[in-house]
């Protein structure tokens, strides 16, 4: 039996998709546990900071450090395009305001975007802003805005 089908066998009887969802939820819960203490420490500083972020975890590098990646992935859970279900751990971390334009490598300026929506964001006429950490506002070339707030994925990260 090939290794790939061993995993499937464990979830025998689950409709396809549900077992994958369970895997995503398990990863999110694990990441949330790892980062919960750090997040609690930062929450105090963030409460008083304009925009809800004191940039305590900001990095000077373009690539987010592992802990920032974990925080953002646990927060976003899926691609930040409204109703796109691609899991964030499989997606790119996008600098909402581009790094080369001064955008911070910080959880308030990073969001999980799948490859397709990362490319969509670069197209003329599209803009993406993050007015608060984890709140993403997309504006289409026609000028319509859509907000992707905190995720509504059916996970219980406890
Ligand atoms: Zn920040
Ligand atoms: Zn997407």
Distance 51 CA to ligand 1 centre (A): 8
| Amino acid 156: pLDDT | 45
Percent of the chain at pLDDT above 70? 75
Residues 6+ apart with CB under 8 A from 139: 126, 127, 128, 129, 145, 146
CA-based radius of gyration for the chain: 17
pLDDT at 155 > cutoff 50 = no
| Helix ranges, the chain (H) | 3-10, 18-48, 66-76, 115-122
What's the rounded Cα separation, in Å, for the pair 153 and 134?
A: 14
Residues 6+ apart with CB under 8 A from 97: 103, 104, 109, 129, 130
pLDDT classification of 100: cutoffs 50, 70, 90: very high
Residues with CB under 5 Å of ion ligand 2 are 79, 81, 84, 86, 114, 117
| Amino acid 41: pLDDT | 63
* Structure tokens belonging to residue 90: 């499989």
Distance 68 CA to ligand 1 centre (A): 10
pTM of the model: 0.68
Cβ pair 110, 76 in contact under 8 A: no
| Amino acid 36: pLDDT | 66
Distance 41 CA to ligand 2 centre (A): 31
| Amino acid 39: pLDDT | 59
Distance 24 CA to ligand 2 centre (A): 16
24-67 pLDDT, tens digit each: 777 777 777 766 666 566 667 787 788 889 998 899 999 999 99
Cross-strand partners of 25: none
Distance 28 CA to ligand 2 centre (A): 18
Distance 49 CA to ligand 2 centre (A): 30
């Amino acid at each position: 039996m090939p290794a790939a089908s061993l995993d499937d066998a464990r979830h025998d009887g689950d409709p396809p998709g549900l077992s994958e969802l369970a895997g995503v939820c398990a990863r999110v819960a694990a990441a949330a546990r790892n980062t919960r203490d750090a997040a609690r420490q930062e929450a105090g500083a963030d409460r008083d900071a304009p925009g809800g972020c004191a940039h305590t975890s900001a990095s000077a590098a373009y690539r987010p450090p592992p802990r920032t990646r974990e925080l953002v992935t646990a927060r976003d859970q899926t691609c930040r395009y409204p109703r796109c279900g691609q899991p964030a751990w499989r997606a790119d971390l996008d600098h909402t305001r581009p790094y080369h334009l001064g955008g911070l490598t910080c959880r308030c300026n990073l969001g999980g975007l799948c490859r397709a929506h990362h490319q969509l964001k670069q197209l003329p006429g599209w803009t993406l802003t993050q007015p608060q950490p984890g709140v993403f506002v997309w504006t289409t070339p026609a000028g319509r805005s859509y907000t992707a707030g905190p995720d509504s994925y059916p996970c219980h990260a406890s």
